[in-house]
Chain A
Amino acid sequence: MAMTSHPTASWDAMQDGSVFYRKVEIYSMQWQLSDLSNFIIAGARYGGPFALIRNTSKIVALDRMAFTKPQIQLFSSSGDLIQIIPWDQGKIIRMGWTFDEELVVLNEEGSYRIYDLQGDHRQYSLGSEAQEVGVIDARIHESGLVAMTGNLGLLEIKGWEGGKPLTLANSTLNAPPHCWSIIPPDQTISRHVEVLLAHESTILSVDNLECIDQRLSRGPFAKLAVSPNGKSLALLTKAGLLWVVSSDFQRSYSEYDTTREGANSELPSQLVWCGNDALLLTWNSVALLVGPYGDTLRYPYSSPSFAVSEIDGVRIVSSERCDFLQKVPDSSESVFRPGSASPAAILFDARDHFDRKSAKADESIREIRPELAAAVDACIDAAGQEIEPYWQRRLLNAAAFGRAFLDLYNPTDFVNMGQTLKVLNATRYYEVGIPITYAQYTHTSPRHLINRLTARNRHHLALRISAFLRLKPDPVLKHWACAKIVRARAEGEGAAGDVDDDALCQLIVSKFEAVDGKEKGGVEGVSYAEIAKKAWDIGRTNLATKLLDHEPRAADQVPLLLNMQQDRVALTKAIDSGDTDLVYHVLLHLKRRLNLGDFFRLVSEPSLVTASNLLKVYARETEREMLKDYYYMEDKRVDSAVLSLEDSEDKEVTERISAIKTAAKFFSEDADHSFEAKAMDEALRLLVFQQQLEKDSDGQKKYVGLSVNETMAACFVNGLAKKADRIKADWRVPDKRYWYTKLYALTSIRDFDGLDAFARSKRSPIGYEPFVNHLASKGFNKQAAAYVSRCDPAKRADMFVACGEWRSAALECKERGDRDKLEELRAICPNSLIGRELDQILSTMN
């Protein structure tokens, strides 16, 4: 294609010239494939690669290119062979691409592999059920898949981290659907995946809750396709009628009879969306674009083609070339549409005049002066839409020219577009082979593009772009380092031996430091641990250790250290990280691997005290037997004792007795804890005593579990004063406490006579105020008042008041000649009746 052919050369009008579509040839293919229909193909979006396997259901003549063993070939969009993946697993059911441009391959046994572009893979399974009944089909989207099992159940996988398969609602199908498709979770209202199954003449929509029959009657449907934004659905009936509806089946948009044009008697081989508003149907020698109003454009192909739906168009590859077909973007149209009088078109024209030194340039600018800013914006945007650098430049020049006439114009868009186009042109270069459009680039982000370049081992370009866009180069560097290590080994195998560990480590570290220094980011963000892991994985332990030493984050070093059986270092690093969960991770790992003795010895090192603390917390909840062993081995007698006591909590008396004995023994072995040992002896005696009390009461009364005080009180309450006194003697209960206990106990059973006798038995060591206060607080005012006379005279008036005996209080004042106090009482007395009484007494005082 000539570099300077006018953009409109690739345009075709539709809808009576009101809308244009353009089909641009991006690459002539480098591959030597004669007929794409011999292959099953999966194409990645955003100008991504193609995965091809031979379609074994088709008989082909074996030529030179043929292969006997099944294999998956990965090609870039320009037909460059990226990778060959030999396949020795069960029959492939489906291939698809993730958002991160990894290839998902699902086999009939229900296991799926995820390959990166280097051919490395990880493998996951859809579970045992899927394995038993087999998988018959699947749909793969950017962040998950839905598989159909042999018994027509639907299993969903979310994400690509090997998540657990979720069973979707039962579809009630009894035979495989005519065709089916899914709406990815991020495009549904519920944010959960929705499966569409063509069944008989209708469509069933299934999610994880229910299966809804959409009650259509136009089927059976042979093909269905969901638009890239998930809003529309294209249905193709077996009779060849194309019908577009909203994906909630509420609105019908358009219809088109594909049999209208006689040549297309058979159903198309592909039905794919071109952006969100047109559909592409492909037959062996023709591709037919059906617009939103049923208008069509025909594109002849000399060999079978394969189309990949994009968010802003459709990519079509054939054995010869790779085309991109899309609706002409508004900005391009406004500039280039024949006869366009839009400000953008005039501005573009004006620049032309300017270059030819024609005065018309100035005239044109004047003419569009009010819309000049919009015209500049349109030219900038149109530049982004062009693939040819020649036209990009001319459009940007026009924008720059217009800009010069504007007083205030923010140049950010202009500068960004210039930068972006540089990036896009570099990635579109056929050797790289990513024909990404401006819309796709903004949709997926620059970071994403850099990751894609990195995944293709285009480290140099990715780094240059990172630097150009001021993005952190770390992910690229990391990938580079890993690739470097792998390659060094491959090279080494052929030659004398591995490339020297020190040299390689040095090379990697210096590269990181060089780039990071340039970026002013410091060493942050560099993850040596992951690189070290790579080295470890391919068996270069020494290199791994060396690299790991450069890892600044302790947490990241731990998993690898564990793999390398560097237990002590791993545990130390985990503790240093401050993340207790990481410490647990190491602990549980070591506990499984080491024998208990070695494990305890390691954990109990003084510098690893955090680890032993955490082990104790964990073991207290789950493994008390292990904890017992640990304390025993470590001579932690106090802890052993307490553990023994805790274990006997809520147990039978006999068990508690033995636990207390054990505890007492542990305490007694420790010179610093003779008090505790003694206390345990007391506790033991108490339990035995309480048992006897219970026995004596024929099990009618409960004593076990009470404290010494409570037992005494219970004895008083149950009329066993002698027993209570025995407790006082045997446990050497001090008088004061004994008196309070008895006071409280007798009050609680209202044994006021007993209390009186007790009060008189000897001089109270606690005085009589507690009697008054306690009785009054329990509402026994009369009984309380009886003890006031035995209290400190100075406090008596207040104490009478506390018992509600105002008159006695007043008389007390009178007796003591304390007029002030009496007046104070008068002031606070609760009612006039008492008031009068107090007044009367007051009057009798002189």
Chain B
Amino acid sequence: MLSQGHTHPPPPPGSSISGDDIHKSESDSGGPALNIGVFKEIAKRALVDALNSVNGAKTLVLERSLAGPLGLLTEVSLLKHHGVDKMFWLESGPLNASTTNVVYLCRPQVKYMMIISEQIKRLTAEHATHTYNLFLVPRRTTLCERILKEEGVFGEVNIASYKLEFIPVEDDLLSLEWEDTFREIFLDGDETAIYYAAQALITFQQAYGLFPRIIGKGDAAKKLANLIIHLRPPRLATVSVALDSLIIIDRSTDMITPLLTQLTYQGLIDEFIGIRNSHIEVDPSYLSNAPPAPPTGTPTPSTSTSAPVITPANPKKKKHLLTASGDTLFNALRDLNFAVVGNRLNREAKRLDAEYKGRHQAQTVAQLREFVGKLGGLQNEHQALRLHTSLSEQIHPLTRTEQFNKSLEIQQNLLASYEPAAQLNAIEDLIAQQAPVQLVLRLMCVASLTSGGIKVKVLENLKREILQTYGYSHLPTLLNLTSLSLITALPLPKIPLYPPPPPFAAIRKHLRLLSDTPENAPTDVSFVYSGYAPISSRLIQCVTQKGAVLASVGPADDAAAAGGAGRAERTVAHPISGWKGFEDALKLIPGETVDVIQKGDEGESPLVAPPPPRDRATTTMVFFLGGCTYTEIATIRWMAKQTKGRRYLIATTGIINGSTLIESLAPKGAKFEPVA
């Protein structure tokens, strides 16, 4: 949703993209690697250019799922400023445009072309004279043109592209904000997303130079790597000095992790409240001290069939951009295991209280002035404290329910291969209690993946229970999960229809997936699942932090846990040497292995040519093809704090969790109750 103004600091002016802008001066902290704010500016300017190319007032008809990503770039006022008079959702039904210019903004998908054709035909029949402009994101396609031609409206529409690619979501996180990418690539076999991801990464390379090395795992990762190399424009020929490599994690190489319940603060917010395009919907009292919303409010785009204002589904809830920029408390909390969040909040409350009391110590006018100067900051912190206290109060009881604890117990037992049969019974009990179907399916997939499959009799009983409890409309979902090998029936037939699940026990052993770590001072990435290290994170460590795969880092002292800074001894990151040392583990995981070195030649320099920083840290970019979870992001941020000399930039096709993943694999008609 296009939101009210949020608290991002103004990004650097895009026109003066220089080395200085891109590289922050801080050289060796765990802080952000490259200034990725430029991507926001680029995307914003492209949008403005697109709007300005249509002269005069215009009616904007917007694809619903684009509103979220666009909301991360711009505010409604910007659109108004560039002539947008009214906004509608792109949905079937007649369009009620009051301006001559109609601007459609959507992805190049067949269904949208059908809606647009239908609306134009209807308006033409009504003798309405409009100029139709269609901006396709990220590019115009012959497919769309063909459909508009077949529908007989091609001549009526001016078609252009709006190249929207990576959106900076946090200062170390780029997202393409695509939904359902996993389904498209791995279930439908529609690899459009891989092609667009390659384009986006090439655009990225145009700003920062070629990735010196591309490392990856999985068949789709291989395809992506090949495209990045083959589609490279000849002008792009300088190897980046700021980046040392790109690691592509193909979602299909680790299906277990997203299915598990995330146990970090941000992960749980996503599980229970739901984070969409970095926004959460919360009770207004959480934000009550927030500055009043802009008086204009948010003119919500409306369904084209109805009047131009619709009320949100839950009028009481308010949208809030959940970001660490400008919210230092969230920055400290987001990646902690939820078990220690309460403590941290307490400490913060006490500190704030003490700071407020500081005013009593103010003796002189100068001291008083100093206090008043701090006041604004304190109020912001107070607000942040209120929000996060409220959120954790909302989440806390949900983590105490029997269902939640039962499902965690099932997950932990399955990961340890402890009495798998009993866990299947426990899942059946959860079905009897009518636990959310997403949760049940997640657990069932985890059971199948960790045990190499489920005995056909037990499996059919479970499936029957699911169909009877939640409806027969879930049958296609079950078939889809089967075809993805997320559910496998045992014994395997002689010629299996689908590949068997990867050998979990062996992977667990090779990659040391089970690893106990104190939650308040983690010594291993396993803190995000209270003792289980995600395969995806381990794969990254196999490249960037080889030692950590073999053994946890030494016990962290309290200072490190408190601030992440001030740790005296951090090991120096080792240079990138591909998968070396973990070839055996990689063989266990299905899919191709990628390790390519990109060489440049003396061509033109890239757009941003930074001076070679000898003493500076290099940056490793991790790209998740098919989406990643907040816990996976948390593990990478943790890795960044462990070693010096290497920083991480995380990029993903989108952010997922187990429930959104399962929902994306269901047919369109399937019913899902909200999880919480």
Contacts and interface: CB of A to CB of B under 8 A. Distances in A.
Given A613-B190, A736-B429, A737-B465, A208 B55 contact: yes
A192 B55 contact: yes
A325 interface: no
A584 B192 CA distance: 11
A192 B484 CA distance: 52
Nearest to B157: A164
Contacts of A192: 55
Contacts of A679: 463-464, 467, 472, 475
Contacts of A682: 467-468, 472
Nearest to A712: B468
Given A646-B669, A679-B464, A740-B434, A580 B601 contact: no
A737 to B, nearest CB: 4
B587 interface: no
B158 interface: yes
Contact of B460 (A616, A621, A675, A740): A675
A844 interface: no
A788 to B, nearest CB: 15
A708 B468 contact: yes
Contacts of B460: 675
B50 to A, nearest CB: 13
Nearest to B111: A621
A646 B669 CA distance: 7
A672 interface: yes
B143 A734 contact: no
Interface residues of A, number: 61
Interface string B633-671: 000000000000000000000000000000000011100
A190 interface: yes
B472 A683 contact: yes
A581 B198 contact: no
A841 interface: no
Interface in B143-167: 143, 146-147, 155, 158
A191 B52 contact: yes
Interface in B490-516: 493, 497
Contacts of B141: 581, 584
A520 B472 contact: no
B363 interface: no
Contacts of B55: 190, 192, 207-209
A334 interface: no
Contacts of A734: 432, 465
B311 interface: no
A520 B601 contact: yes
Interface string A678-719: 011011001000000000000000000011111000000000
A622 B108 CA distance: 14
A212 interface: no
A708 B469 contact: yes
Nearest to B402: A773
A164 B143 CA distance: 19
Interface in A538-556: none
B296 interface: no
Contact of A709 (B56, B110, B469): B469
B607 interface: no
A707 B479 contact: no
- Chain A contact residues, majority secondary structure: helix
B11 interface: no
A736 B192 CA distance: 46
Interface in A154-172: 164, 166
A96 to B, nearest CB: 23
B472 A707 contact: yes
B669 A621 contact: no
Interface string B241-260: 00000000000000000000
Interface hub of B190, B198, B472 (most chain A Cβ within 10 A): B472
Contacts of B53: 191
Interface string A590-632: 0000000000000000000110011011100110000000000
Given A621-B110, A642-B667, A610 B472 contact: no
Contacts of A388: none
Nearest to A770: B433
B252 to A, nearest CB: 15
Given A610-B191, A733-B468, A645 B475 contact: yes
Interface in A124-160: none
Contacts of B554: none
B356 interface: no
A618 B142 CA distance: 13
A209 B434 contact: no
Contacts of B471: 706-707, 710
Interface hub of A581, A609, A733 (most chain B Cβ within 10 A): A581
29 contacts: A191-B52, A191-B53, A192-B55, A207-B55, A472-B234, A578-B195, A578-B223, A578-B226, A578-B230, A580-B195, A582-B142, A584-B143, A588-B143, A588-B146, A614-B189, A621-B109, A622-B147, A642-B476, A645-B476, A646-B667, A646-B668, A679-B464, A680-B472, A686-B472, A706-B471, A707-B470, A708-B468, A736-B428, A740-B434
Interface of B: 52-53, 55-56, 108-111, 114, 131, 141-143, 146-147, 155, 158, 184, 188-192, 194-195, 198, 223, 226-227, 230-231, 234, 402, 428-429, 431-434, 460, 463-465, 467-473, 475-476, 479, 493, 497, 601, 667-669
